[in-house]
Amino acid sequence: MNFFHLFSAFLLALFLTSCSTTADTKKIDLREFSNDDEQYALTETREFTAQFCKSLKDGNFSHWQQVMPLNTQKKVTPEIFARMRKELIDNFGTLENFDFLGTLRKDTLLDYLWKLQFVKDGKKRDVIFLVRVFCENQRKPEISGFGIKRF
């Protein structure tokens, strides 16, 4: 199980980097979420998660790829998705269901949490799927990353 925890941490670190800046990128000016922003972000993350789950179930990466932000599309290739899917299936089994749990606010970021329910060898195994969203000035909220954690 240690490999899976490292794999999950790698995914989260890889995909949460869109909020960071380097000398080669412009500084991102984040702002607080309005009520409309939060509703928009929830709708976007709901579709992102639904298509992720659909892709996990049937192995067709294109479902999820169609709703990915451009930054994520550059980082998540069909090969990376295939490896991620294999690891999830090997560790947790078949995805059966997913449910929205709620939202966590951290300064100018929102984390939307889902419980993904897998079944392996007749046993249910739950994991948390987190989708992080930020809101840049003069722009709509954007998904900046995602991660999976078993508790």
The closest alpha carbon to 84, from 47, 49, 55, 108, belongs to 55
Nearest to 92 by CA among 131, 66, 53, 60: 53
Helix-strand-coil split of the chain, %, nearest 5: 45, 30, 25
Distance (Å, rounded) from C-alpha 149 to C-alpha 151? 6
Cα 110 to Cα 43: distance, rounded to the nearest angstrom: 13
pLDDT band at 22 (very low <50, low <70, confident <90, very high): very low
Residue-wise pLDDT tens digits, 61-120: 999 999 999 989 999 999 999 999 999 999 999 999 999 999 999 888 999 999 999 999
**pTM score:** 0.82
